[in-house]
Amino acid sequence: MAKSIPDLFGSKVFNEKCMKEGLASDTYKELQKTIQEGKPLNPKIANAVAHAMKEWAIAQGATHYTHWFQPMTGVTAEKHDSFIEPVDGGKVIMSFSGKELIKGEPDASSFPNGGLRATFEARGYTAWDPTSYAFIKDDVLCIPTAFCSYTGHALDKKTPLLRSMEAINTQALRILKLFGNTDVTSIKTTVGPEQEYFLVDKDYYATRKDLIYTGRTLFGAPCPKGQEMEDHYFGTIKSRVQSFMNDLNEELWKLGVAAKTEHNEVAPAQHELAPVFSTTNIATDHNQLTMELIQRIAKKHGMVALLHEKPFEGINGSGKHNNWSISTNTGKNLLEPGDTPYENAQFLLFLSAIIKAVDEHQDLLRLSVASAGNDHRLGANEAPPAIISVFLGDELNAVLEAIINDKPYDGTEHKLMKIGACVLPKLPMDTTDRNRTSPFAFTGNKFEFRMPGSSSSISGCNFVLNTVVANALREFADMLEKADDFESSLHSLIKQTLKDHQRIIFNGNGYDDAWIEKAKKRGLLNLRTTPDALPYFIHEENIRLFETEKVLDREEMESRYEITMEEYTKVINIEALTMINMAKKEILPAVSRYSKELSDTCLSKCQLDAQMDVTYEKEMLTQINALLKEAYQACSELEEKTNALHTIQDFEKAAFFVRDTILPCMDALRKPCDVLETMTDDKVWPFPTYGKLLFGI
Ligand code: ADP
Ligand code: MG
């Protein structure tokens, strides 16, 4: 690394330093105000900002610019335009106007829009999000933008996130005002997403159609060694992987992504990268970049990164732990319990709002992470279960119990837990009792939402989280603003809220089967699959909630519902077609050829000597033949059912058909094929097995 890391960091980002250098001081101040308040850019200064940005970008070698956005596909989209503009004399100049910076006009019709296109204009526009810095990727100036239809309907993942940040800002400020925090003028939610992924050798990858088309293995018997030795977690990083990580860090640092932690994960070939947390919309942009670069840089090192939630059966899948908190513009973390009675009371109020929000909106949080890939993790005997619950740890739990029951907290304080009067016991940060099985765990000064899948954008879970918490805070503020006696109203509000929502708190083992029963008795939702969860999105009370907080309107919600249900169906349809293809063109012919080999051997042995023992050949042949028949029949059945799927017009019916009919047929095909893999000669099996994929680097 030629440059020092501090010099390297953010070198490809049009950050504050570049703005200061490239702009007149009043323009710079105006831009800063826009950024801090999250307001649209004043068109009066747009030309000056665009000019400075272009000059900086050209000096860095950029030739093109793009409005970089996050359509509903979940990946980022970009359309490059060069800076050139023809002038007289057959020459060009490099130009970039304020108008081009503020607004782009990509054709919206080829992106998923869930019916918004049918009723509205096909065109959409992208608008710069000035709170997220522009950056250079591959000689292209990327301008982070939100993507809307001409009627202002959100067509992307970023718009609702930005709106939700505004919603929680408004409501949290009302609460902070009640506590007399006059110095705070804005709050932002913060996120640190821990990204898990697998690395496999590129040559092995290239011969597996399932990995190429679907990102996960659709066939594959377990290999003799899995993750049972627990020797991979935090283990020594192999040199090829380490050199990939070094490259990755360097590229991320240049883009201003504060990549911090890297380590091996539980499963063989599984790794994790965590950045230092940042403001939620920036963390979301950065996570998209991180996923893109992980994949790109892995290729340079002869590997392929799998971001799928469940690339291998029988091996841990990958998630994206979403660490979430709320910060004031004065630098205070509102989920920090604090040391004084006053700070404690404020903390307990925010905590109660979150507990209430999570309990009342289990459905929304669950569906915010629902996808075909994540269904293999949630509720499938793997971290965490599909049931939403909150983990607080023993200490905090004891405090809340004391408040609910008007009892003394059994620490050193021999007073009743009177909010606003007594000091909370010191809560241990990062306690050893950290519960890894909880889907939503308090970890000292933030919550860790562990359900998001490794491949999905974190925008979804965060706009839901921001919105539901904003709504709880709104309810609290409505009440407290009217209260005659603030302190006693505060105490009874916290006490009542905790009492009403105690059922969501669970500090035990989330993997335990007994929890499922217990949760049912508590009336908690257990939405096992994506089609179970998604319909809750358009329940009337949820539409009302998002409309109240001005995050999404009815049409946007209906369109999103359709898009996500369709996505589920499409993903599994591709998986089914891939399985049929692999079975018919690779597995069945290979096994049939292998049967011939066995029977040829058998025949020649008998020819040589009629008394020669051919038990092995005969028995193998019989077993293989039976499995071959089973696989063939299962394949035909799957083919028939996928054909039937293609005739279903209704998107809801299609999603349920996929879950109830296609998925079981896929399992039925996989089963005999995986057994066949274990019975045939390694040399004839048409693609690399789990052993090679998992231990081949
Ligand atoms: P773990 O032990 O679960 O791996 P860490 O404590 O190292 O977790 O933190 C995980 C992530 O949480 C990191 O990305 C870190 O930056 C982030 N984080 C820490 N504090 C906050 C906060 N106040 N808001 C959001 N994320 C945070
Ligand atoms: Mg974690």
Please tell me whether residues 102 and 238 are part of one structural domain: no
Over the stretch 572-621, which tens digit does the pLDDT of each residue have? 999 999 999 999 999 999 999 999 999 999 999 999 999 999 999 999 99
Please tell me whether residues 477 and 343 are part of one structural domain: yes
Specify the pLDDT at position 319. Answer: 95
Helices marked H in 658-695 — which ranges?
663-679, 690-695
- Compare 405 and 363 and report the one with higher pLDDT: 363
Average confidence (pLDDT) over 484-490: 91
Of the segments 27-36, 42-51, 65-74, 538-547, which one has the largest average pLDDT value?
538-547
**Which atom of ligand 1 lies nearest, measured to the CA of 194?**
14
The mean pLDDT of the chain is 91
pLDDT above 80 for 435: no
Residue 628 maps to which CATH number?
A: 1.20.120.1560
Q: Which residues contact 71 (CB under 8 A, 6 or more apart)?
A: 77, 111, 112, 147, 155, 156, 157
From ligand 1's centre to the CA of 193, what distance in Å?
8
Specify if 49 maps to a domain: yes
Specify if 191 maps to a domain: yes
If one counts every other C-beta atom within 10 angstroms of the C-beta of residue 240, the result is: 14
CA-closest residue to ligand 1 atom 22 = 325
Q: Which of 122, 156, 190 is the last residue of a domain?
A: 156
pLDDT band, residue 509 (cuts 50/70/90): confident
Least confident of 136-150, 354-368, 369-383: 369-383
The finding on whether 71 has its CB within 6 A of some atom of ligand 1 is: no
Specify the pLDDT at position 409. Answer: 66
Please tell me whether residues 180 and 141 are part of one structural domain: no
State the DSSP string of 151-182: TS-B-BSHHHHHHHHHHHHHHHHHHHHHTT-T
Please tell me whether residues 128 and 192 are part of one structural domain: no
pLDDT band, residue 152 (cuts 50/70/90): confident
Average confidence (pLDDT) over 6-17: 94
The finding on whether 194 has its CB within 6 A of some atom of ligand 1 is: yes
Please tell me whether residues 186 and 116 are part of one structural domain: no
- Cβ contact 49:23 at 8 Å: yes
Backbone angles phi, psi at 671, to 5 degrees: -55, -60
Number of H helices, E strands in the chain: 25, 17
From ligand 2's centre to the CA of 472, what distance in Å?
26
The finding on whether 54 has its CB within 6 A of some atom of ligand 1 is: no
Q: Which residues contact 88 (CB under 8 A, 6 or more apart)?
A: none
pLDDT above 90 for 3: no
What is the spatial distance between Cα 240 and Cα 244, in angstroms, rounded to a whole number? Answer: 6
Specify if 396 maps to a domain: yes
CA-closest residue to ligand 1 atom 23 = 325
What is the spatial distance between Cα 671 and Cα 192, in angstroms, rounded to a whole number? Answer: 39
Specify if 560 maps to a domain: no
- Compare 172 and 337 and report the one with higher pLDDT: 172
Q: Which of 125, 156, 187 is the last residue of a domain?
A: 156
The finding on whether 274 has its CB within 6 A of some atom of ligand 1 is: yes
The finding on whether 323 has its CB within 6 A of some atom of ligand 1 is: yes
Please tell me whether residues 576 and 627 are part of one structural domain: yes
Please tell me whether residues 296 and 390 are part of one structural domain: yes
- Cβ contact 308:455 at 8 Å: yes
Structure-token pair, residue 638: 């799957």
Please tell me whether residues 396 and 413 are part of one structural domain: yes
pLDDT above 90 for 357: yes
Specify if 658 maps to a domain: yes
Residue 29 maps to which CATH number?
A: 3.10.20.70
Please state the ipTM of this predicted complex. 0.96
Average confidence (pLDDT) over 425-449: 76
Domain enclosing residue 581, as ranges: 567-695
The finding on whether 333 has its CB within 6 A of some atom of ligand 1 is: yes
From ligand 1's centre to the CA of 323, what distance in Å?
6
Average confidence (pLDDT) over 195-207: 97
Q: Which percentage of the chain shows pLDDT scores above 70?
A: 94
Specify if 347 maps to a domain: yes
Specify the pLDDT at position 114. Answer: 74
Q: Which ligand is nearest to the CA of 319?
A: 2
What is the spatial distance between Cα 435 and Cα 95, in angstroms, rounded to a whole number? Answer: 55
CA-closest residue to ligand 1 atom 19 = 277
Q: Which of 552, 580, 611 is the last residue of a domain?
A: 552
**Which atom of ligand 1 lies nearest, measured to the CA of 327?**
23
Residue from 323, 326, 334, 458 whose mutation best tests the ligand 1 pocket (most atoms within 8 A of CB): 323
Count of domains forming the chain: 3
What is the spatial distance between Cα 638 and Cα 469, in angstroms, rounded to a whole number? Answer: 44
Please tell me whether residues 640 and 509 are part of one structural domain: no
If one counts every other C-beta atom within 10 angstroms of the C-beta of residue 74, the result is: 18
Average confidence (pLDDT) over 358-367: 98
Specify the pLDDT at position 419. Answer: 62
Please tell me whether residues 119 and 79 are part of one structural domain: yes
Residue 217 maps to which CATH number?
A: 3.30.590.10
Specify the pLDDT at position 402. Answer: 86
The finding on whether 191 has its CB within 6 A of some atom of ligand 1 is: yes
pLDDT band, residue 414 (cuts 50/70/90): very low
Which amino acid type is present at position 603?
Answer: L
From ligand 2's centre to the CA of 193, what distance in Å?
9
Please tell me whether residues 178 and 99 are part of one structural domain: no
Please tell me whether residues 545 and 617 are part of one structural domain: no
Residue from 260, 263, 277 whose mutation best tests the ligand 1 pocket (most atoms within 8 A of CB): 277
State the DSSP string of 575-624: HHHHHHHHIIIIIHHHHHHHHHHHHHHHHHHHHH-TTS--HHHHHHHHHH
Specify if 411 maps to a domain: yes
pLDDT band, residue 85 (cuts 50/70/90): very high
Specify if 384 maps to a domain: yes
Over the stretch 610-648, which tens digit does the pLDDT of each residue have? 999 999 999 999 999 999 999 999 999 999 999 999 999
**Which atom of ligand 1 lies nearest, measured to the CA of 325?**
24
**H or E element at residue 270:** strand 270-275
**Which atom of ligand 1 lies nearest, measured to the CA of 260?**
14
